[in-house]
Every structure is written in structure tokens, then in C-alpha cells.
Amino acid sequence: MNLKEKIIQVSQEIGISKIGFTTADDFAYLEKSLRAGVEEGRTTGFEHKNIEERIDPKFSLASAKTIISIAIAYPRRLPQKPQKTQYRRGKITPNSWGLDYHYIVQDKLERLARAIEELTADFEYKGMVDTGALVDTAVARRAGIGFIGKNGLVISKEFGSYMFLGELVTNLVIEADSPVDYDCGDCNRCVTACPTSCLLGDSTMDARRCLSFQTQDKGMMDLEFRKKMKTVIYGCDVCQICCPYNKGIDSPPVVAIDPDLAQPELLPFLELSNGQFKEKFGMIAGSWRGKNILQRNAIIALANAHDRSAIPKLLEIIDKMQNPIHAATAIWALGQLIKEPDEGMVSFVQEIKSDHPEVLAEQAAFLKIAKGL
């Protein structure tokens, strides 16, 4: 076997679902769209800031000649249902089930790199997963992992779009693979199914309108997105659920998945301290934004689930006023759960004392509706 064949064999042995090879030539064609996204305010702010580094692999590794792209398929259905309890459950999207995928992909890349070091001398490399400089989807497309769909995700016939991506920028000289010869065609399902119309139809999006971003953004969630997130407290999967390439595909778990964490009980979730949150959810990808943002989402999810058993907890959150964003969100949730508040409830909201602008705004909105103004 030649070096490429040996690397492919090793990748299969360590559990990499698909591997592809491409040159370390630049991705200059991306520059226009990347700059447009920034200038038009369509980026999340989580992206790597230096666009030159995003489009030229040699900024990451001066000796770069070949990029090895890998994909690790993950399941889109829970291996088993969570246990039944008295509490309504929220949802966390499949890319955040089990151990944080950054650790999973980094481990696979490191194991692959160590194996390559045993196969060839003077091996240099730089591994990247999601938070690196390069655009993972562009690398994967050029390396033949799959095509970039209208939802902006890499899609393959074998695994659909439920794949974690990563790459090794290397100094190896290896024959490049070709991009796949299939694509979305005339299908537009993800564009029309997107709850917030964030997909632009050309594989780009207004990322700030994506519900996945909204569940990770700080502060108050804009009113237009609250009901659209339903009971999902982290992520959004609508554009994957409706994709024909995902039909009939459900890859096995990469690591153990606890269904009770994938669909957490909402009311108990609001009781978690920082320490308890880290202990219970700290290993999942969705934990990176911290407890407070996800608890804000859980308050919204309780309202969207029409869970009136949450009312006492919402009143407690408002009364304690420990977190103004939680309190403001709880006032909104009260308005959703109590369509015709009695005098006692109106009086309670009216007497809320706070100088926080979001609390004042939600208080005014609640009272305006309650008083029929």
C-alpha cells in the first residue's frame, strides 16, 4: 500500500467515518462571501476573525501541502427514550449529545497524526476542529467528503449531514481527491422549512437569525424567535430533519449518550447551581455558553410547552430578581401561560421593582395586554 492507502486504513481502524485529501491551495473564492457576511452583519461573532487566515492554509502551517479532512458521523435519534417523570422535557440537538464533539474529533485527529508519524519521516501538521482558522465545510467539500448544501452543511450520500468535521493541515504530498458529483439539485426544502428564513438559498445564511445562534446568544432573546424555538434549549435541527439526504440514515453513537441529558427536565434544570450544571452538563458541547443562557431558554421552553406547573417557579425567579434576564423572560412566560391574569397577578407584576431595561420592557408589555390597552 502507498501512504494514502495506509492513512485511509488507519482512519477506519480508529473510527473515522470518512476521510478525504485535498491540496493546501488557498480558498480565495471564499473571501468575497466571508467579507460580505461581516459587512452585512450576518455573522455570529464566534467565527475566526482574520479572513486571510481563514482562506490560506499556509498561515496555519507554513509547510502545508496537503489537507486531510475527516468526518465522524453521529446519530440523529436517541438510542433510547428518557425515563418518564412528572416534568416536561426540553431538547438539545444531536450535535450536543454525549461528550463535546470537539474532544471527539480532536482525539481522532491526534490518533491519526500519531499513526502517520510512524508511517513517514519529518511529518508536520496542524489539527483543527470547528474553532480553527480554516472553514471546515470548504475543506471537506474540496476533499470529497460531501457537498455543501443550501443549509450550509456538508452532506454526503453515506452519512447525510449529521457529521462532525475536522482536518489536519500537513506537509505531506498526497494525491488529492475530487469533490463529489452530486448536490441539492432543485430541492429547496431546508430553505422553505427554516423557521426564521435565515437560509439565503446559496449555501449561505444570515447566521444571526438562525435559531441555533439565538439559543447561544447572550441577553434577551428577541420576541420573534421565542415561540419558534419551541422546546429546544440548545441548537436547531430543522434544516437537517427535512433534508432528503438524511432520510433513512441514523449512524450509531460515537460515545455513550444519556437520553435524560439530551432531553433534560425543564423545571429541575432551572434549579441547577453553577457547580451542578458543570457536573451534570459540563461535558456536552452545549455547555460552552454556560448555565444562564440555557436556563433562559428553559424558561421560554416551559412557556412554549404550556406548562402551567412552572408558574410558581416563574414567580420565584421574578421575586428574587437574581438574574434580570431570567426575570424578564419569566415575566414574558407568565403572560404566555396566564392569558387572563386575575387582579392578584396583575398587582404582582405591577409591583415588580427593577431598573433593568429588559425587566421594565417585559413588565410594561405584560400590563398592557392584561389591562387590554
Residues catalogued as catalytic: 130
Cβ contact 325:296 at 8 Å? yes
Q: What contacts 364, CB < 8 A, 6 or more positions away?
A: none
Question: What DSSP letter does each residue of 203-216 carry, written as one string?
Answer: S-B-GGGSHHHHTT
Tell me which amino acid residue 36 is.
A
Give the span between the Cα atoms of 159 and 17, in whole angstroms.
8
Tell me which amino acid residue 52 is.
E
Q: Report the interhelical angle of 324-337 vs 291-304 (nearest 10°).
A: 10
Q: What contacts 172, CB < 8 A, 6 or more positions away?
A: 3, 65, 66, 68, 116, 120, 123
CA dihedral 135, 141, 168, 28 (to 10 degrees): -50
Cβ contact 229:297 at 8 Å? yes
Q: If DSSP codes are grouped into helix, strand and coil, which group holds residue 22? A: strand
Q: What contacts 239, CB < 8 A, 6 or more positions away?
A: 151, 153, 190, 193, 194, 199
Give the span between the Cα atoms of 165 and 185, in whole angstroms.
23
Query: According to DSSP H, which parts of 273-356 are helical?
Result: 274-281, 291-304, 311-320, 324-337, 343-350
Residue 61's Cα: distance from chain center in Å?
28
